[in-house]
Structure 1
Amino acid sequence: MKKIILFAALFISLNFCQKKTYDSFKIGVIADCQYCNCEVKWDRYYKKAPQRLKEAVATLNKDSLSYTIHLGDFIDKQIWSLDSLLPTWNSLKSKSYHVLGNHDFDVGQVNKEKILKKLNLKNRYYSFVQNDWRFIVLDGNDLSFYGTTTKEKELQTDSLFNLLKNKNLSYLKKWNGGLSNKQINWVKSELEASKRENQKVGFYCHFPIYPVDQHNIWNRDQFVELIKPYKNVKVFFNGHNHAGAYEFADNVHYLTFKGMVDTEKKSAFAKVKFDKDTIFVEGFEREPSRKLVIK
């Protein structure tokens, strides 16, 4: 009888430990810092961006974060704008990642190739694994009027834009962009790898997929069809729409983070905790807090 009781106690203890030791992790998220030495426009206070970034980094550095990611438009224009931000960004205690935004390429044709090195990026789109998640970082400027750096990509951009221009799409704007077929095929290979490794998937992009408005990636329909069979896709985080937005579609949380550069008085950034079946967004200043249940 004593052996049975001991076994039962051990089983309960092990089961309790398993529940308690799920390897959750926390990250920092910033969108559209978008600094330039420019006057206020569209309620964007560009000159306040360096100080807002310093305050956000100071807050994020107080926590044990697995990484911090910026969701694009780190600068508004002019490559030397980075000089006012990178010392602060490089003071992050966590690992850090960048998503490329359309304004990050508003630096003149000769400087576009330099942006990746400045932001410590080896590739324009890439993936990384954190615990049981695979995070896929998209390049929404792959085909775009801002971000192309080769004649081949310019031709592909024109081809995609012309293919879609008669469809009356609200988001077919020249400040948006699209994914090349090469990138789409790469995403599929990443999704297949995530299935083999039994990983949940989160996407990062500058441009949104949902809700449908004037900010979406050009070939969003192609992307939605691509991910539909993969039930392990759980979240899609982006910037670009500075007002922020949220939609839950096909069991995927599509969350647009508010722009740090916007409004005179308040910044915006977040910490995000990935737990077993829930994602907790702890918003600061204008960014709201949220609880996203993973199904």
Structure 2
Amino acid sequence: MKKLILLFVTVITIKFCIKPKDNSFKIGVISDCQYCNCEIKWDRYYKKSPQRLKKAVATLNKDSLSYTIHLGDFIDQKMASLDSILPTWNNLKSKSYHVLGNHDFDVGEANKNKIIAKLNLKERYYSFTKNDWRFIVLDGNDLSFYGAISSDKKQQTDSLFNLLKDKNLPYLKKYNGALSNTQLKWIKSELDLAVKENQKVGFYCHFPIYPIDQHNIWNREQFLSLIKPYKNVKLYFNGHNHAGAYEIVDNVHYLTFKGMVDTENTSAFAKVKFDKDTVFVEGFEREPSRKLVIQ
């Protein structure tokens, strides 16, 4: 009897002493740094971006981050802008990733093919995993007047734009873009893999899906039809609309981060903590803090 009691006490002790596995992690998020040696336009203070990025990197480096991601438009124009600001970005202590924005391709036709390598990317769209999450990085410039480089992609861009131009879509603007059918097929394969691996899915893109305004990706309806059956899709983070925005649709959080380049005296960036059933956005300066419940 004493042995049974001792065994029971030992089991209870072990049960309460063993802590559940902590799958939480934290990342840094910046959008639309958009540096160039340019004069102020549309309340964008381009020349102030290097100092703002330097301050953000210093703040992010104080924490233990799994990675930091920039959501597109790292520069506004010219390859020289990239050479000026990359050294600051490279001071990040965490891993780092880039999403391609429309202005990242505003470097002249001869330089567009160099952008990928300059940003330390192997592909224009790609994925990576962290704990029980799969992050899918989209290329919204795949079909676009900024980022389509090959003659085939340029032809597809023209075809899609002409196909949609009579639909009176508020976001059919030449500064936006679309996902090619090839990329959409790849996204489906990534989603299927996430289901197989029991992973939650977060998307990163430069262009928003929600709310509907003049900034959305051209073929947003096609993208939404693709992801609708996948209940493991939880997040979609983007930039492009410098004012920022948020909407939750079908339990997917669509969050547009504010542009770092905007306003005379303030910046915008965030740390994002992924917990079991909640994502906490800790916003700095103009970026608001949020609690996103994962269902």
Normalising by the residue count of structure 1, what TM-score does the alignment of the two structures yield? 0.97
Three-state SS of the structure 2 residue aligned to 1:246 is strand
Consecutive unaligned residues in structure 2, runs of 5 or more? none
Distance 2:70 2:12 in 1: 48
Q: CA deviation at 1:7?
A: 2.1
Q: CA deviation at 1:11?
A: 2.5
Matched, 1:76 2:47: no
Three-state SS of the structure 2 residue aligned to 1:54 is helix
Distance 1:115 1:10 in 2: 54
Q: CA deviation at 1:8?
A: 2.6
Distance 2:205 2:95 in 1: 18
Q: CA deviation at 1:84?
A: 1.5
Q: CA deviation at 1:9?
A: 3.0
Distance 1:9 1:109 in 2: 67
Q: Deviations over 1:40-77 (max 9, x none)?
A: 00000000000000000000011100000000000000
Distance 1:100 1:125 in 2: 9
Distance 2:89 2:14 in 1: 47
What is the 5 A alignment of 1:1-295? Answer: 1-14=5-18, 17-18=19-20, 21-295=21-295
The one-letter amino acid paired with 1:144 is S
Aligned residue-pair number:
291
The one-letter amino acid paired with 1:2 is L
Consecutive unaligned residues in structure 1, runs of 5 or more? none
**Misfit runs of 4+, over 4 Å:** none
The one-letter amino acid paired with 1:125 is Y
Three-state SS of the structure 2 residue aligned to 1:27 is strand
CA RMSD in angstroms, aligned pairs only: 0.8
Q: Deviations over 1:234-277 (max 9, x none)?
A: 00000000000000001100000000000001000000000000
Overall identity of the aligned pairs, in %: 76
Q: Deviations over 1:202-244 (max 9, x none)?
A: 0000000000110000000000010011100000000000000
